């Protein structure tokens, strides 16, 4: 995966927050399936998904592996980032 971290839009943050039960709002069925796929993917496949959906992969990785990920995504979702 690229070493550059993509900017996560507020809509993406809201979709990922909702998926993981931290607020936000639900995405449509296609995007919800994409988030589920990213959530379940191993690192190699997640890197492949990042080629087409870098913002969603960055948001899922943040919420799963960054101790401040939820708070950061909530800040982005609220328009504070």
Q: Report if residue 1 sits inside a domain.
A: no
CA 4 to chain centre: 15
Per-residue pLDDT band for 79 (boundaries 50, 70, 90) equals confident
pTM of the model: 0.91
> pLDDT by residue (tens digit) across 45-62?
999 999 999 999 999 999
Q: Report if residue 5 sits inside a domain.
A: no
Q: Report if residue 2 sits inside a domain.
A: no
Q: Report if residue 17 sits inside a domain.
A: yes
Residue 1 scores a pLDDT above 70: no
Compute the average pLDDT of residues 62-73: 97
CA 60 to chain centre: 3
Domain ranges, residue 44: 10-77
Q: Report if residue 35 sits inside a domain.
A: yes
> pLDDT by residue (tens digit) across 20-53?
999 999 999 999 999 999 999 999 999 999 999 9
Number of separate domains in the chain? 1
- 55-61: Cβ within 8 A, 24+ apart: 55/6, 55/7, 55/8, 55/9, 55/12, 56/12, 56/15, 56/16, 56/31, 57/1, 58/5, 58/6, 58/8, 59/8, 59/12, 59/13, 59/15, 59/16, 60/16, 60/35
């Amino acid at each position: 995966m690229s070493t550059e971290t993509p900017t996560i839009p507020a809509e993406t943050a809201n979709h990922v927050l909702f998926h993981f039960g931290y607020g936000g709002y639900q995405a449509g069925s296609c995007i919800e399936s994409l988030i589920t796929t990213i959530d379940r993917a191993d690192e190699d496949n997640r890197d492949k998904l990042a080629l087409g959906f870098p913002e969603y992969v960055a948001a899922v990785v943040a919420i799963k592996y960054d101790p401040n990920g939820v708070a950061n995504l909530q800040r982005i979702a609220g328009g504070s980032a």
